[in-house]
Amino acid sequence: MVKKLLRRVGRFKTASMLTPIFTTLEVIMGVLIPYVTAWIIDRGIMQGNMKNVYLYGGIMIVMAALSMTFGILSGKFSAFASSGFAYNLRDAMFKNIQTFSFSNIDKFSTAGLITRMTTDVNHLQNAFQMILRISVRAPLNLVFSIFMCVFINMRMSLIFIIAMVILGTSLYFIISKTVKLFTQVFSKYDDMNKSVQENISAIRVVKAFVREDYENKKFARAANGLYKLYVGTEKLMAINHPVMSMVVYGCIIALSWFGAHFIVAGDLSTGQLTSLFTYVMTILNSLMMLSMIFVQMTMSAASGKRIVEVLDEQADVTNPEHPVMEVPDGSIKFNHVSFSYGNNNGEYAIKDIDLSIKSGETIGVIGGTGCGKSTLANLICRLYDVNKGSVEVGGIDVRSYDMERLRNEVSMVLQNNVLFSGSIIDNLRWGKSDATLEECQEACRMAVADEFIDRMIDGYDTMIEQNGNNVSGGQKQRLCIARALLKRPKILILDDSTSACDTATDAKIRKAFKEDIPNTTKIIIAQRILSVQDADRIIVMQSGQVVGFDTHEHLLETCDIYSDIYHTQMEGAGDFDEKRKGGAA
């Protein structure tokens, strides 16, 4: 995992290497300075030799300046390296997510992907910066300072060893407890993010159902859980400080006590004692920092794992090695196709479908909710790959095509379609980036969107809010149809795309299709018989299977299910589902 993540440092490798180098230089300066202080005291002040005071004072100023410069440089490079690392991680994740097929996306939740790209990357960025700077500084400081202490006075160093053992053991206990708590914090964090994300993106639904109180309580519960855990971990972490102070003061007292004896005996100079004081602080501080690194690393290990999961996810719908670039015509053939959404215990969403559609035909698809209509359509433009059998477009297996070409020729208006924030024309140009205004107007005319766009003050420059919240359901659907038409596809699939339009508008759209794009194969999925009855042929689906595929007139005679739906709907008893509910009661 670490290797995979480190590979993402990429072009920020130089900065990442310079950071520890400058940190090392900074540490060396920092460690040497107390030693020079000792000289100033011993050879200058104690002997009343001002020349030495100036000389060593001068050296010390230069060293301090160098140490500061190295410090600034290491800070600069570490900021550069860690921000770059985060940038690369996000970039790689985002690019990989773009290659995901629908089934890849089904595996991760949207909230999960967002948390991974934001919070988790932040954790890693902080950890990386910390590791680059502190993980070099702390051990180096520790080793150098111990070395200097031993160098100055062997016997006095024993004090540190005892102090280090005390501090080390207590840190170990505190940290092993905190790490356990922190792992829980992260899973709680996920829960809370999920509840926030769900609530905010569905805020309109929450309001419509007057569920604010319920949502508030749900959020309060999640936030409270997190709060309690945080208090627990912070309480533990807070013990660190008093323990550290106690050990430091203990050391200072011991140093003063033994130091006084050694000085009297002539084994130690005053200056040396002063530098020992500085070293003891450095050593204990380094130990503290090392423990913090350990906490940070365990914290970010969880984040790292979640990031690698996204980076490692292989798109399961990919381009073939030698893709076919041309879609000959708009014919469609299903050869004994079965498909299951992996997560449904292997149950097939569509089973053994075998049919063929001629280029330019208008095909209606009808059936109850959940019978597999959308699934059938998704397979044509390869949003999912079949499990058994094959789907052909223009006589060639869809898996042989270049995906972009295929999806340009098979234009689909998804059932849950979205508009993006931006102007109407920007949204239309999603279908074709270089479309002229005239082309857009033509597409909108066919989709019967022109009449409401013309009524808007800003016309085609009207701004659409995120999710198209400032246009009505039917208007949104018509804009989505226009967007799909702009591609001038060979096959056009409308998945329940006129459900929010009134019957007259629906009929106008169908008429425009018939007159303006007669050679395009049109697949119209609908719940209303009226939307499909004038199609060339109609597919009737039930529980993932095709139970009828013929013209309206023939189906009325031969397909019981179809004639049932027809009569119920014609009698004004509502749509297909209501009939079924009625039947079951």
Ligand X SMILES: Nc1ncnc2c1ncn2[C@@H]1O[C@H](COP(=O)(O)OP(=O)(O)OP(=O)(O)O)[C@@H](O)[C@H]1O
The encoded tokens of residue 251 equal 């050391």
User: Smallest distance from the beta carbon of 491 to Mg ion, in angstroms?
Assistant: 18
Q: What are phi and psi of 564, to 5 degrees?
A: -60, -50
Closer to ligand X at the Cβ: 43 or 580? Answer: 580
Angle at 152 between CA 151 and CA 155, to 5 degrees: 90
Closer to ligand X at the Cβ: 80 or 341? Answer: 341
> With CB cut-offs between 5 and 8 Å by kind, which of ligand X, Mg ion, none does residue 502 bind?
none
**Total residues at interface with ligand X (CB under 6 A):** 15
Whole-angstrom distance, CA of residue 52 vs CA of residue 57: 8
> Given the DSSP bridges, would you call strands 491-495 and 410-413 parallel, antiparallel or unpaired?
parallel
- Residue among 583, 574, 474 nearest 529 (CA): 574
Q: Which of 374, 497, 520, 533 binds Mg ion (CB under 5 A)?
A: 374
State which amino acid sits at residue 486: L
291 binds Mg ion (CB under 5 A): no
- Residue among 523, 551, 557 nearest 537 (CA): 551
Closer to ligand X at the Cβ: 280 or 337? Answer: 337
> With CB cut-offs between 5 and 8 Å by kind, which of Mg ion, ligand X, none does residue 344 bind?
ligand X
Cβ atoms within 10 Å of 407's Cβ, excluding its own: 16
373 binds ligand X (CB under 6 A): yes
User: Smallest distance from the beta carbon of 566 to ligand X, in angstroms?
Assistant: 17
User: Smallest distance from the beta carbon of 496 to ligand X, in angstroms?
Assistant: 6
364 binds ligand X (CB under 6 A): no
- Residue among 283, 289, 280, 277 nearest 240 (CA): 289
568 binds Mg ion (CB under 5 A): no
User: Smallest distance from the beta carbon of 242 to ligand X, in angstroms?
Assistant: 54
Between residue 408 and residue 427, which ones bind Mg ion under the rule CB under 5 A? Answer: 415
366 binds ligand X (CB under 6 A): no
Burial class (CB in 10 A: 0-12, 13-18, 19+), 56: buried
345 binds ligand X (CB under 6 A): no
399 binds ligand X (CB under 6 A): no
Q: Which of 341, 439, 512, 563 binds ligand X (CB under 6 A)?
A: 341
Identify the helix (H) or strand (E) that includes residue 422.
strand 422-423
Cβ atoms within 10 Å of 235's Cβ, excluding its own: 11
Whole-angstrom distance, CA of residue 577 vs CA of residue 499: 14
Closer to Mg ion at the Cβ: 287 or 353? Answer: 353
Closer to ligand X at the Cβ: 400 or 415? Answer: 415
Q: Which of 275, 362, 375, 569 binds ligand X (CB under 6 A)?
A: 375
DSSP-assigned letters across all residues of 346-365: T--SEEEEEEEE-TT-EEEE
Closer to ligand X at the Cβ: 98 or 344? Answer: 344
User: Smallest distance from the beta carbon of 371 to ligand X, in angstroms?
Assistant: 4
Note the residues at the interface with Mg ion (CB under 5 A): 374, 415
Note the residues at the interface with ligand X (CB under 6 A): 106, 341, 343-344, 349, 367, 369-375, 415, 496
